[in-house]
């Protein structure tokens, strides 16, 4: 693996440690090795972006970190605690995670406020406290005034803001996002990237975000992990030493473009088209 980084995986006590992760999928008539030899430490508070060609195992790796998939081999530790003990999942670790997928997956029969506060309700938080917290979260993600609306009344970008608010409702230490802005138009996406950066800087949580937009990766990340085509291996770790907060104009800086080109060249060697926003 190539490490274009000064401090790849500097360990901290609160970080996430992936050791020897391997994922083999067995279907009726074939075996698919989706991921192999994933060894990585993600520092507390870091913004890590997973980048790679379609089918290289990005979603699988995120699902493994989210505890939604037990890896065939290897371990996931969060803050020194193993996510799995044999076949049983450590729910105390799960409680520190918030997850956002490409589709907002809001319940259509619940108001935005009730959707956002659902994780709190499931934890027994009372109604007035839930409402207060939902208001704060709506303000944080920029949808104040839409608390009583139905999901269908919101644009795609606003629904995704609500999904982020819901993921943040229980103040997770780790926010996991799988192509959260993949279905949005380019302008909305740029705006969401800026806002996500702000939310992350305000909350201090660790973010692991999957994308196949190189530009989005360079804009958001402290480090980019580029995975190789299947079976996904750690191909490149790239530090992004651009000062924060970053505004959209950093995209026209020479430093930004050099990093973008470097990653694009590497992805091109995999035979991946690098059209922004294509594929899945």
Q: Is 88 in the site for ligand ADP (CB under 6 A)?
A: no
Residue list 56-75, contact with ligand ADP (CB under 6 A): 56-60
**Contact, 160 vs 192, CB < 8 A?**
yes
Phi/psi of residue 270, nearest 5 degrees: -85, -5
Q: Is 55 in the site for ligand ADP (CB under 6 A)?
A: yes
Q: Which does 34 bind (CB under 5 to 8 A by kind): Mg ion, ligand ADP, none?
A: ligand ADP
- Interface residue with ligand ADP among 10, 54, 105, 273 (CB under 6 A) is 54
| Shortest distance (Å) from residue 170 CB to ligand ADP | 26
Cβ proximity to Mg ion, 59 vs 193, nearer residue: 59
- CA angle 138/141/144 to nearest 5° reads 35
Cβ proximity to ligand ADP, 58 vs 215, nearer residue: 58
Q: Is 125 in the site for ligand ADP (CB under 6 A)?
A: no
Cβ proximity to ligand ADP, 57 vs 151, nearer residue: 57
Q: Give the number of other CB atoms < 10 A from CB of residue 61.
A: 27
Determine the 3-state secondary structure of 75 from DSSP.
Answer: strand
Ramachandran area for residue 243 (φ above 0: left; ψ -120 to 50: alpha; else beta): beta
What is the Cα–Cα distance from 44 to 16, expressed in whole angstroms?
A: 7
Q: Is 216 in the site for ligand ADP (CB under 6 A)?
A: no
Contact stretch for ligand ADP (CB under 6 A) within 12-20, 27-35, 92-100, 136-144: 27-35
Q: Is 228 in the site for ligand ADP (CB under 6 A)?
A: no
Parallel, antiparallel, or unpaired: how do β-strands 223-227 and 206-211 relate?
Answer: unpaired
| Shortest distance (Å) from residue 102 CB to ligand ADP | 10
- Interface residue with Mg ion among 23, 59, 169, 197 (CB under 5 A) is 59
Residue number, nearest CB to Mg ion: 59
What is the Cα–Cα distance from 6 to 113, expressed in whole angstroms?
A: 43
| Shortest distance (Å) from residue 227 CB to Mg ion | 11
| Shortest distance (Å) from residue 71 CB to ligand ADP | 12
Q: Give me 86's structure tokens.
A: 């044999």
Cβ proximity to Mg ion, 137 vs 227, nearer residue: 227
What is the Cα–Cα distance from 49 to 206, expressed in whole angstroms?
A: 11
Q: Is 27 in the site for ligand ADP (CB under 6 A)?
A: yes
Phi/psi of residue 165, nearest 5 degrees: -60, -45
Determine the 3-state secondary structure of 73 from DSSP.
Answer: strand
Strand partners, 223: 48, 239
Parallel, antiparallel, or unpaired: how do β-strands 31-42 and 16-26 relate?
Answer: antiparallel
Q: Is 32 in the site for ligand ADP (CB under 6 A)?
A: yes
Q: Where are the alpha helices (DSSP H) in 145-247?
A: 156-168, 186-203, 214-220
Contact stretch for ligand ADP (CB under 6 A) within 48-56, 89-97, 122-130, 260-268: 48-56
Binding stretches for ligand ADP (CB under 6 A): 25, 27, 32, 34, 52, 54-60, 230
Residues that bind Mg ion (CB under 5 A): 59
């Amino acid at each position: 693996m190539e490490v274009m980084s000064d401090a790849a995986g500097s360990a901290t006590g609160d970080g996430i440690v992936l050791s020897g992760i391997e994922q083999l999928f067995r279907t009726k008539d074939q075996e698919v090795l989706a991921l192999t030899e994933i060894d990585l430490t993600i520092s507390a508070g870091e913004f890590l972006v997973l980048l790679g060609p379609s089918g290289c195992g990005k979603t699988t790796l995120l699902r493994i970190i989210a505890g939604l998939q037990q890896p065939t081999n290897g371990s996931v530790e969060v803050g020194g605690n193993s996510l799995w003990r044999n076949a049983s999942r450590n729910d105390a670790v799960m409680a520190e995670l918030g997850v956002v997928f490409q589709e907002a997956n809001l319940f259509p029969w619940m108001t935005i406020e009730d959707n956002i506060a659902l994780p709190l309700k499931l934890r027994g938080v009372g109604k007035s406290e839930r409402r207060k917290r939902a208001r704060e979260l709506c303000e944080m993600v920029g949808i104040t005034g839409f608390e009583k609306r139905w999901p269908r009344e919101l644009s795609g970008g606003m629904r995704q803001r609500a999904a982020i608010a819901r993921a943040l409702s229980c103040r997770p230490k780790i926010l996991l996002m799988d192509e959260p802005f993949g279905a949005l138009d380019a302008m909305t996406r740029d705006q969401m990237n800026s806002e996500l950066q702000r939310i992350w800087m305000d909350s201090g949580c660790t973010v692991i975000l999957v994308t196949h937009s190189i530009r989005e990766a360079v804009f958001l990340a402290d480090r980019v992990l580029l995975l190789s085509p299947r079976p996904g291996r750690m191909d490149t770790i790239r530090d992004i030493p651009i000062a924060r907060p970053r505004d959209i104009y950093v995209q026209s800086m020479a430093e930004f473009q050099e990093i973008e080109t470097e990653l694009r060249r590497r992805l091109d060697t995999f035979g991946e088209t690098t059209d922004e926003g294509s594929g899945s």
